[in-house]
Amino acid sequence: MAVTDDIVATYRGPRRVVSRLLTGERHEARPLAYLLAALALLLVAQTPAMSRAAFEDPASPFAQRLMAAALALGALLPVFYGLAALGHLAARIFGGRGDWFGARIALFWAMLAIAPLALFKGLVDGFIGQGMAQALTGGLVFATFLWFWIAGLAEAEFGGRA
């Protein structure tokens, strides 16, 4: 199934999608590709707000802001791997029997699957700016991310048992 089809299907049933992703070939290139694609889309999602900020404060031009954000996201790669490991360890406390690979798939896929909402939030940030709309879209993105991650982690750690 195409990645875009899987993203749409995740909004209907995140556990089914993660289950299908876990039955595929198990090599580290897949979760890394999901993470890099998610980070690239999250960077694109930030560009409207960065453009607005650069217009309002020309002391820091857009290119400088974009490069700083890209470097920051790249520097966070090990943090995301650590977060996936923490998710796996937390699931083990509750009896999870998955592996490290499944925990990475669950987290990185959740990050990629929220990309459409993150892009929408970026438009809200750039065109509307601070206010209730920004807070609501940010809350929606975060809640959806938690839903996808927890559901995916449950599938990776407990399979059909949870």
Residue 13 pLDDT? 93
> What's the sign of the alpha-carbon dihedral 10, 13, 18, 19?
negative
Residues of the chain whose pLDDT is less than 70? 1, 160-162
Domain that holds residue 68: 3-21+29-161
Taking the C-alpha atoms of residue 10 and residue 117, their distance in angstroms, rounded to an integer, is 13
Phi-psi group of 129: left, alpha or beta (phi > 0 → left; psi -120 to 50 → alpha; rest → beta): left
User: How many domains is the chain built from?
Assistant: 1
What CA–CA distance (Å, rounded) separates 97 from 156? Answer: 8
pLDDT, position 162: 46
Q: What is the pLDDT of residues 64-104, one digit of tens each?
A: 999 999 999 999 999 999 999 999 999 999 998 989 999 99
